[in-house]
Amino acid sequence: MDMLSNLDLVMLGSAALSIMLGLFVGMLFGALPGLGLIIGVTLLLPLSYAMSPVNSILMLLACYQGAEYGGSISAIVLGIPGTAMAAPIVLDGRELAQSQSPGKALAYSLYGSTFGGIFGGLVLIFFAVPVARFALQLADPEFFLLGVVGLLAVATFGAKDFVKAMISVTLGLLAGTVGLDLFTGSSRLTADFFELYEGLNLVAVAVGLFAFSEVFMMLSGRINKAYTFEAHHMKISLTFREMLGALKAMISGSAIGSFMGVLPGVGSTVSCWLAYSTAKATSSTPEKFGKGSGEGIAAPDAANNATVGGALLPFLALGIPGSASIAIIAGAFIIAGIQPGPQMMRNNPELIQTIFIGFMATTVGMFFMGKALTQVFVRALVTPNSFLVPAILISSLIGIYSSKGQFFDLWVALGLGIAAWIMRRLDYSVAAFVLAMVLTPIIEVSFRRALVLSQGDYSIFYTRIYSQVILAAIAVVLGFAVLKTIRRLRDARRAATTQEAAQ
Amino acid sequence: MTIRTMNLIVYAALAVLSVLVLRAVSEIPVTMPGDVGSGFLPGFLAWLILGLSALGALRAVLAGDTGSFRSEYLGRVLITVGVIVGFLLSWQNLGFFFLQCFLFLFGLFTYYRWPHGPSARLFAVNAAVAAGITALCYVTFTFFVFVDL
C-alpha cells in the first residue's frame, strides 16, 4: 500500500514537472516574436519518446496553453504580438502598458487566459464524453467524411488561397500514404528507402516544415535587431473590483473561444478578434476600447485559451484533429500507440480522466507560473534572433535524431524546411499539410474498410443519415470556398488592371 | 523573378511530382475483393494535384503580374543551409557530436553577429553561449532523454 502511494507521488511529481516544462517552453516561445506555439510544441514532441504517454501529452497541452498566454507578453510589452492570435491584444494592451503599467496589462491578460483555460477545460470535460458516446454510433463512412470535411474546412477558413491550401492538403495526404500499406503490407512511394517503410517521421516533417522554415524566414530579416523596453511597474495583479469589471468580457470571450475551437480550421486567430468585437459591443464603456481597456485585453486572451479546450473536444471524442497544433499533439498519442477517438474514451477512461485533470492543472499552473515568471519572459524578449536561430537549429536537429536515431530523417527535415520556406512565401499552408498527413490513416482506412464491407458499393457513403448530414456540411464548405476563390480572383485582376493603368 | 513566374515553376514541379507518383503506383495490384487497392489513394491524389496545379497555373496567368519574388539576405540563408549540410555530413561520418555542436553554434553566432564588428568580447560571448547551449543539450539528452548522440 505504501509502495503504491509512493508510486502515485512519483507519478504526480513527474506529471507536475512535465506540465512545468511545457508551460515554460510554451510561454517562452509564445513570447518571442516569430516563434510561437507550433514551434514550441514541435520542438517538445521528440521528448515524448522518453516519457510516459500521459506526461508527454500533458507537457504538450501545457505548452499549448502557455504559448497562448506567452503571445500576449510581447504584444503588451513591445507592441508586437508573439503569436498571430495575440494581435488584438496589442490594441489595448500596449495602451494600458504605457498609460498605467505593463504589469496591470499583463495581469488582465493572465487572468483572462486563466479564466478562458478553465472555461475551455470545463467545456471539454462536460462535452467530450457525450460527444464520444454519440460518435460510437458513427461508422467508417462517417469517419471518412468527417476527415474530409475537416480538411476542407482548414483549406477554406484557415488559409489565404483555397487552391494552394488544397494543394497543401493533397500533398499532406500524399505524404501520409508513404510507407507500408496497412491493408496489404505492400510498400508505397518508399523509393526503396527502408527508413520510409514506417512512413515519414512526423517529428522530422513537423520540425522541417515549422522550425526550419521559420528559421529561414528569420534569416531573411534583420537578425541582430534587439528590442528595448523599460521593465518597471511589472507587478502582475488585479484588484477584486478590476477583476469583476472584466468578468463579462472574460465570459463572452471564453464562450466564443470554446465554440470556435471546436470548428476545424477556424482557431484562435478568428476567435480572439470576434471576442474583442463582442466585448466592445456589449461593454458599458465601449469608448475605452483601443485606449487601454482591461476588457479589451481580457476578452481576446480568454478566447485564446478557451480555444484549446474547444479544439481538444473533436480530437479526443472523434479522433479528428482540427488544427496543426492539435495534429502535432496527436503525434504524442501516435508515438504512444494510442488511437484517439470514441474507442479510447470507452476503453481508456483512466487516461481520459488524467488528461482532464492534467488540463485543469496546466491552467492553474499557467496562472502561478505567469505570476512568478512573466518578468523572466519579458527579459527574454531582448534576445536577438542571431542567438535564437542557431539554438533552434541545434535543438531541432537533436530532437529529430533522438526520435528514431536515423540520419535519414535529418535530411528529410532539411529538404522539407527549404521547400516549406519557398512555399510559405507563395501562400501555401504548411499547417494544412501536417494536419492532412496526420489524418491520412483515418481517412484511408475508413474509406477502404467501408468499401470492403460494402463489397465495393459506393452508396455506403450517402445512404446513412449521419453521412448525409456530413455531406451537406461538405457542400456548404465547398460552396463557400468557390465564392471565396472567385472573389479573390476578381480582386487580383482588379489590382493588376489598376497597376497597369497607373504605369 | 516575378511571383507569377515562381508560382508557375512550383506548379510545374508539382506536376512532375504527380507524374512520378502515378508511375510509382500504377502497377500495384488490387488484392482484396471490394478494396480499391494500395495504389488508389496516392494515384487519386496525384491526379488531384495535377488538376489543381493546372487550375492554379491558369489563375496565375489570368491574374497578371503581382510583384517580384525576392529574398533579402538570400546569401545568409544559403550559407546557413550549407553549414547545416556540412554539420550533418561531419556528424554522420566523424561523430564527436558535442564538440561539433559547440563549433556549429560558435560558427553561426560569429557569422550572424559579425556586423557588430569583430572583438574579443564578441568571440568570448559567442563561445560562452555556445558552450552553455552545448552543456544544456548534453545534460538534457544524455540524462533525461537517454539518447546516444
Q: Give me the residues of A, 367-406, that contact B with CB < 8 A.
A: 385-387, 389-391, 393-395, 397-398, 401-402, 405
Asked if the Cβ–Cβ distance from B81 to A418 is below 8 Å, we say yes
Domain end marker among B63, B92, B114 = B63
Gap between the Cα atoms of A429 and A431, Å rounded: 5
Asked if the Cβ–Cβ distance from B147 to A414 is below 8 Å, we say no
Q: Tell me: the pLDDT tens digits for A404-437?
A: 889 999 999 999 999 999 999 998 988 889 889 9
pLDDT value at A59 more than 90: yes
Taking the CA of residue B20 and the nearest CA in chain A, the distance in Å comes to 9
Asked if the Cβ–Cβ distance from B52 to A163 is below 8 Å, we say yes
B117 domain residue, yes or no? yes
B58 and B92 together in one domain: no
Cα of first residue to Cα of last residue in chain B, in angstroms, is: 42
Q: Tell me: the pLDDT tens digits for B92-102?
A: 999 899 999 99
Report ipTM (2 d.p.).
0.93
Domain residue ranges in chain A: 2-225+234-502
Q: Tell me: the pLDDT tens digits for A231-280?
A: 677 788 888 998 898 999 999 999 999 988 887 766 667 788 888 888 98
Mutation test of the interface with chain A: which of B17, B52, B55, B139, choosing the one with the most A Cβ atoms within 10 A? B52
DSSP code at position A46: G
Q: What angle do CA A268, A274, A280 make, to 5 degrees?
A: 135
Q: If phi over 0 gives left and psi between -120 and 50 gives alpha, with beta otherwise, what is residue A180?
A: beta
Domain residue limits at B27? 3-63
B80 and B52 together in one domain: no
Gap between the Cα atoms of A496 and B62, Å rounded: 10
Residue A222: per-residue pLDDT = 81
Nearest neighbour of B53 by CB, restricted to A167, A191, A215: A167
Reported as a pLDDT band with limits 50, 70 and 90, residue B18 is: very high
Gap between the Cα atoms of A482 and B17, Å rounded: 26
B57 and B96 together in one domain: no
Q: Tell me: the pLDDT tens digits for A125-172?
A: 999 888 888 888 888 999 899 889 888 888 887 677 888 999 999 999
The rounded mean pLDDT for chain B is: 90
B43 domain residue, yes or no? yes
B112 and B140 together in one domain: yes
* Strands annotated E in A307-446: none
Q: Residues of A with CB below 8 A from B84's CB?
A: 393, 397, 414
The rounded mean pLDDT for chain A is: 86
Evaluate the CA torsion angle A330, A333, A338, A344 in order and state its sign: negative
Q: Are A133 and A342 in contact (CB under 8 A)?
A: yes
Tell me the backbone φ, ψ of residue A36, rounded to 5 degrees. 95, 180
B93 and B57 together in one domain: no
Q: Residues of B with CB below 8 A from A170's CB?
A: 45, 48-49, 52
Question: What percentage of residues in chain A have a pLDDT greater than 90?
Answer: 33
A19: nearest Cα among A50, A38, A37, A44:
A44
Q: How many domains does chain B divide into?
A: 2
Gap between the Cα atoms of A436 and A431, Å rounded: 9
B80 and B133 together in one domain: yes
Q: Are A400 and A46 in contact (CB under 8 A)?
A: yes
B140 and B114 together in one domain: yes
B31 and B83 together in one domain: no
B36 and B57 together in one domain: yes
Q: Are A453 and A139 in contact (CB under 8 A)?
A: no
B78 and B138 together in one domain: yes
Give residue for cell 533525461: B144
The grid coordinates of residue A353 equal 480522466
Q: Residues of A with CB below 8 A from B28's CB?
A: 186, 188
Q: Give me the residues of B, 38-77, that contact A with CB < 8 A.
A: 38-42, 45-46, 48-49, 52-53, 55-56, 59, 62-66, 69, 71-74, 76-77
The grid coordinates of residue B51 equal 488538376
A268: nearest Cα among A471, A94, A112, A373:
A112
A224: closest chain B residue by CA: B113
The single-letter code of the amino acid at A253 is G
B76: closest chain A residue by CA: A219
Residue A1: per-residue pLDDT = 45
Gap between the Cα atoms of A389 and A469, Å rounded: 47
